[in-house]
Amino acid sequence: MTVEEIRGRLGGETDRFPVGMRVLAVDDDPTCLILLDGLLRKCQYQVTSTSQAKTALRMLRENQNRFDLVISDVHMPDMDGFKLLEHVGLEMDLPVIMLSANSDPKLVMKGITHGACDYLVKPVRIEELRNIWQHVIRRKKCEAKHESKSTTKGKNRHGNGEGEQGPSPTDNMDQNGKINRKRKDDEEEEDGEENGSENEDTGTQKKPRVVWSIELHRKFVAAVNQLGIEKAVPKRVLDLMNVEGLTRENVASHLQKYRLYLKRISSVATQQANMVAALGGTDSSYMRSLSSLDGFGDFRTLAGQGRYPNPALSSYQTGGIFGRLNSPAGVSLHSLSSSALIQPSHAHNLSNSLNTLEKFQPVVLPEKQNTSSFQRIPTSLEFDSPGDPTIFTSVGNASLFADNRAPLGISSNSLPSASVTPLILQGNLQQMQSGGVFGNQSSLKVGSLNSKPFNTGVAVQISRFSSNSLLLSEPFNHDLLPPNSMRSINSLSGPHIRNNPDDFSAMSAISSHMEDARGEIQYQTGLVGDVRNMNQAMDKRWGEHNQAYVQNPNMVFSTLNSMAPTKGVVNLLSQNVDQNNGVFRRETNTSLVSQSNSSVSTLLQHSGVEKSAIDSKMRSGEDYILEQTKTQGGFVHNGYDSLDELMNSMIKREQRGAMLTDGEFGFDAYTFGSCL
Amino acid sequence: MERSQMYRQLANMRKALFDQGFLDEQFVQLEELQDDANPNFVEEIVTLFYRDSTRLIHNIEQALEKNPLDFTKLDSYMHQFKGSTTSIGAKKVTNECTQFREYCKAGNGEGCKRTFEQLKKEYALLKKKLEAYFQLARQIGPVESACRPK
């Protein structure tokens, strides 16, 4: 919500933010809860308290716009505070403050890596609470800033930055706050959401937040992959994505998040490194391209931080999950494994779908380490270029969605699924831990890839995330790109499909992407994006699950003819598969992941390899199909230009509740559209 | 008793609680939250504390009777308990909690038990004192509000 919204909500106290800021307080200890409640009321916030984390989550989910900030205790009996933190971060992108009687630095660090924007030690003093509104403003500002960056208008939004300095003293608030708010609003305007209605003036309009739908994310990932994770700069990514209404700012922030996500993933992927290595990180070229994604490495950090785009980012970590990940690129598989990798758990669907995917070469991008993970394995994907080499070049990255979504047209591509899959999948698979997410994904196989060496890093992770968690863990990210156009996908950093342990069937998200792909590159980007989104989202959540996120968001298809179909990973896959045409549709839909508990398979399925004719339609729908395999979460971002958008879409998605139906990706039917 | 006398007495009681280390600055925060909208906030929260912490105390007692002692669990209980005590500003009780946790970390079962006995004493003593304090406060009426400690 922008400040405007907040103000509006206050109904009368519009200019008095932070007065009336809506806070949700969660603490199992009634004494502390009452105290916290009292203190917050004293600060003139609107407080809702609950002692149950589950109740809190429910309230948050019911109405995404109901709260501005969440404060939660760390030790709670029904759910770990960090878990709640991840959930909130992934799904709602709200600032979360952790609270604990324990001031152990390790815990504080844990809070940070899980995305908390602050950590307070009990007993909490009212002075500390007086300043918490800064987190709300800051978050909005960042988003706005990113989004507005791309606007051609020369607003000098950045000026806000200064004004916004977080902890400005309360007394400053009025002035700065107002100014900042204005600027922020202004920036918010820049959000991709508003096509063209950027409003120059600093005032008042509230920019709608860009929702990074799976499609959009996929596109983003595709674009990133195409450019190479390290070289991906918002402007270029934006150009590649060619999404109307998307601003450079959006892309920039989204990219940042994505990078963080990849980082996170890569840490996961490292575990899988072996796998990845096996995959053959041979593609130097690929890696190179991936390296361009270096930035993604940062994703990880992004992921860590507050909720980045939350879900999406986390998955990004691995960024270039490309199968190859051996190390550089993104073997993020490893990293993915933990984070974004398609969470096997969720991926039950994925696994199924993945099978079908076979073709999808799950590009395991995880590894953000290499940053190259997104590196889209440019040529490396080689998948075999037999026909569609491109297919997953990104596949490498995008470990496709584990879901076996077979439908992923990928198969049609003759992706060397086999070969590819191993790459990434491997990495992912591991990560997929429970679900073996990628494991089976032979489907990732990006089928058409002609057994081309996935090594190229195409981490087609799609491996089945058997466990349903996001399949996509990383591989998607870039590599998924459908062979044909995939080549371009290189830059796909593969969306990390974060599998939320809970829900992502992970792959479903991916599959959702795929679906869209209609043979278009969409998949790729979409997948990637989606995956990524999913991953990210999942990432956060899965931290514990260790599931491989399929981070495909990037992978997918960014390169596809610059069309980065952001459609869920699935798209990627399918696209890849279909690639033949090399026409990847870049779905700008960022709608990721439908929350299909049902599994990622939907993602994959949808991707329906039908994509054979990849038309380059670019969907500008910013929906990422976030397939939450499990019911929530998996965001698969299509290559979103900016993480912001990704996040937005994700968030939007959440809000919209548009979750792709499980099982069917129907990309078209995706929530993508609705995501926005 | 005359009202002004009662006020004075109340003030003295309060001062003594702080001087003797039963309460600390956090208690003042509670008092500050008390206003017309929440006239009995402090008493309510203290009452809630005592009610809720009974359960924790009981858990700890049971855990202390086990053999061998599960220090991790004990520490975890005490951590929760400590969170509450610090929130209301129960200084002495909190100190005992800290001590208890030290013993847990050291694996000193005897030390834990001893400290726990001490803790219970402080806990009960504070309860009595606060009850008396609130009773007087109620007698005086809602007008009075504790002044800030020096």
Mutate: best of B49, B80, B87, B105, partner A, most A CBs <10 A: B87
- Distance from C-alpha of A576 to C-alpha of B82, rounded to nearest angstrom: 57
Check if the beta carbon of residue A497 is closer than 8 Å to that of residue A317.
no
Q: Please tell me the predicted confidence (pLDDT) of residue A215.
A: 75
Q: Which chain B residues are closer than 8 Å to A102 by Cβ?
A: 79
The DSSP code for A116 is -
By CA distance, what is B101's nearest residue in A?
A: A102
Task: Decide which of A231, A258, A274 is a domain's last residue.
Answer: A274
For the record, the structure tokens of A623 come out as 């929906």
Residue B110 resides in a domain:
yes
Please name the member of B30, B44, B80 whose beta carbon is closest to the beta carbon of A75: B80
One-letter amino acid of A376: R
Q: Which chain A residues are closer than 8 Å to B77 by Cβ?
A: none
Verify whether the Cβ–Cβ distance B84 to A31 is below 8 Å.
yes
Q: Which chain A residues are closer than 8 Å to B80 by Cβ?
A: 29, 75, 101
Residue A128 resides in a domain:
yes
Mutate: best of A31, A47, A122, partner B, most B CBs <10 A: A31
Verify whether the Cβ–Cβ distance A39 to B29 is below 8 Å.
yes
- Residues with pLDDT less than 50, chain A: 6-14, 152-204, 281-642, 654-676
> A127 at the B interface (CB within 8 A)?
no
Residue with tokens 């996040």: A647
By CA distance, what is A43's nearest residue in B?
A: B33
Q: Please tell me the predicted confidence (pLDDT) of residue A25.
A: 93
- Distance from C-alpha of B137 to C-alpha of A96, rounded to nearest angstrom: 39
- A22 shares a domain with A138: yes
> A37 at the B interface (CB within 8 A)?
no
Check if the beta carbon of residue A479 is closer than 8 Å to that of residue A489.
yes
Verify whether the Cβ–Cβ distance B83 to A126 is below 8 Å.
no
- A29 shares a domain with A140: yes
Its ipTM equals 0.88
Q: Which chain B residues are closer than 8 Å to A123 by Cβ?
A: 26, 29, 86-87, 89
Q: Are strands A22-26 and A96-100 parallel, antiparallel or unpaired?
A: unpaired
Q: Is the dihedral of CA A300, A183, A215, A60 positive or negative?
A: positive
Number of helices and strands in chain A (H, E): 31, 9
Q: Please tell me the predicted confidence (pLDDT) of residue A150.
A: 54
Please name the member of B38, B41, B49 whose beta carbon is closest to the beta carbon of A31: B49
Q: Please tell me the predicted confidence (pLDDT) of residue A72.
A: 92
Residue B35 resides in a domain:
no
Task: Decide which of A231, A249, A274 is a domain's last residue.
Answer: A274
Residue A115 resides in a domain:
yes
Query: Residue A46 forms beta bridges with which residues?
Result: A22
Check if the beta carbon of residue A634 is closer than 8 Å to that of residue A609.
no
> B47 at the A interface (CB within 8 A)?
no
User: B 62-81 residues with CB below 8 A of A?
Assistant: 76, 79-80
Give how far Cα A404 sits from Cα of A323, A408, A510, Å: 17, 8, 10
CATH number at residue A39: 3.40.50.2300
Verify whether the Cβ–Cβ distance A126 to B79 is below 8 Å.
no
For the record, the structure tokens of B142 come out as 């809602």
Query: Residue A395 forms beta bridges with which residues?
Result: A479
Residue A303 resides in a domain:
no
> A125 at the B interface (CB within 8 A)?
yes
Check if the beta carbon of residue A518 is closer than 8 Å to that of residue A605.
no
> A104 at the B interface (CB within 8 A)?
no
Q: pLDDT by residue (tens digit) across A439-483?
A: 333 333 333 333 343 333 333 333 333 333 333 333 333 433 343
Q: Which chain B residues are closer than 8 Å to A30 by Cβ?
A: 48, 52
Check if the beta carbon of residue A496 is closer than 8 Å to that of residue A321.
yes
- Distance from C-alpha of A508 to C-alpha of A600, rounded to nearest angstrom: 2
Verify whether the Cβ–Cβ distance A35 to B45 is below 8 Å.
yes
Q: Which domain holds residue B132?
A: 1-27+40-140
Q: Please tell me the predicted confidence (pLDDT) of residue A551.
A: 38
Q: Which domain holds residue A140?
A: 18-144
Residues with Cβ within 8 Å of A641's Cβ and at least 6 positions away in sequence, in order, are A150, A192, A216, A219, A220, A223, A234, A237, A238, A240, A241, A243, A246, A248, A250, A251, A254, A255
3 state SS for B24-85 = CHHHHHHHHHCCCCCCCHHHHHHHHHHHHHHHHHHHHHHHHHCCCCCHHHHHHHHHHHHHHH
> B52 at the A interface (CB within 8 A)?
yes
Give how far Cα A287 sits from Cα of A282, A307, A319, Å: 8, 28, 12
The DSSP code for A669 is G
Verify whether the Cβ–Cβ distance B33 to A38 is below 8 Å.
yes
The DSSP code for A375 is S
Q: Which chain A residues are closer than 8 Å to B32 by Cβ?
A: 42, 126
Indicate the number of domains in chain B: 1
Residue A574 resides in a domain:
no
Verify whether the Cβ–Cβ distance A123 to B53 is below 8 Å.
no
Residue A58 resides in a domain:
yes
Mutate: best of A32, A44, A71, A98, partner B, most B CBs <10 A: A32
> B97 at the A interface (CB within 8 A)?
no
The chain-wide mean pLDDT, for chain B, equals 88
Residue A466 resides in a domain:
no
> A109 at the B interface (CB within 8 A)?
no
- Distance from C-alpha of A372 to C-alpha of A326, rounded to nearest angstrom: 10
Please name the member of B26, B84, B89 whose beta carbon is closest to the beta carbon of A29: B84
> B147 at the A interface (CB within 8 A)?
no
Check: pTM over 0.90? Answer yes or no: no
Q: Please tell me the predicted confidence (pLDDT) of residue A462.
A: 36
pLDDT band at B15 (very low <50, low <70, confident <90, very high): very high
Q: Please tell me the predicted confidence (pLDDT) of residue B149.
A: 52
- A105 shares a domain with A23: yes
Verify whether the Cβ–Cβ distance A30 to B48 is below 8 Å.
yes
Q: Which chain B residues are closer than 8 Å to A29 by Cβ?
A: 52, 80, 83-84, 87
Task: Decide which of A144, A172, A188 is a domain's last residue.
Answer: A144
Q: Which chain A residues are closer than 8 Å to B86 by Cβ?
A: 101, 122-123
Residues with Cβ within 8 Å of A84's Cβ and at least 6 positions away in sequence, in order, are A26, A53, A56, A57, A70, A72, A76, A96
Which stretch of DSSP H or E encloses residue A84?
helix A81-87
> B42 at the A interface (CB within 8 A)?
no
Which of A636, A625, A622, A615 minimizes the C-alpha distance to A659? A625
Residue B64 resides in a domain:
yes
Residue A239 resides in a domain:
yes
Give how far Cα A255 sits from Cα of A6, A192, A251, A268, A653, Å: 26, 14, 6, 20, 18
> A35 at the B interface (CB within 8 A)?
yes
CATH number at residue A223: 1.10.10.60
User: B 100-139 residues with CB below 8 A of A?
Assistant: none
> A77 at the B interface (CB within 8 A)?
no
Please name the member of A38, A39, A122 whose beta carbon is closest to the beta carbon of B83: A122
Indicate the number of domains in chain A: 2
Which of A387, A384, A380 minimizes the C-alpha distance to A364? A380
Residue B145 resides in a domain:
no
Verify whether the Cβ–Cβ distance B52 to A30 is below 8 Å.
yes
One-letter amino acid of A220: F
Residue A172 resides in a domain:
no
Residues with Cβ within 8 Å of A230's Cβ and at least 6 positions away in sequence, in order, are A290, A291, A292, A293, A294, A295, A296, A371, A372, A375
> A121 at the B interface (CB within 8 A)?
no
- Distance from C-alpha of A66 to C-alpha of A328, rounded to nearest angstrom: 42
Residue B122 resides in a domain:
yes
Please name the member of A41, A100, A123 whose beta carbon is closest to the beta carbon of B87: A123
Verify whether the Cβ–Cβ distance A125 to B88 is below 8 Å.
no
Give how far Cα A569 sits from Cα of A295, A323, B4, B83, Å: 21, 15, 76, 45
Residue A213's SS3 state is strand
Cis-peptide into A378, omega within 30 deg:
no
Our CA-based measurement puts residue A99 at a distance from the nearest CA of chain B, in whole angstroms, of: 10
- Distance from C-alpha of A11 to C-alpha of A379, rounded to nearest angstrom: 56
> B86 at the A interface (CB within 8 A)?
yes
Residues with Cβ within 8 Å of A63's Cβ and at least 6 positions away in sequence, in order, are none
Q: Please tell me the predicted confidence (pLDDT) of residue B19.
A: 93
- A129 shares a domain with A25: yes
Residue B68 resides in a domain:
yes
> B9 at the A interface (CB within 8 A)?
no
By CA distance, what is A31's nearest residue in B?
A: B49
Verify whether the Cβ–Cβ distance B79 to A101 is below 8 Å.
yes
Residue B150 resides in a domain:
no
Q: Please tell me the predicted confidence (pLDDT) of residue A244.
A: 78
Please name the member of A38, A41, A123 whose beta carbon is closest to the beta carbon of B26: A123
Verify whether the Cβ–Cβ distance B52 to A39 is below 8 Å.
no
Please name the member of B38, B41, B88 whose beta carbon is closest to the beta carbon of A31: B88
Our CA-based measurement puts residue B2 at a distance from the nearest CA of chain A, in whole angstroms, of: 33
Verify whether the Cβ–Cβ distance A32 to B83 is below 8 Å.
yes
Size of interface A-B (CB pairs under 8 A): 58
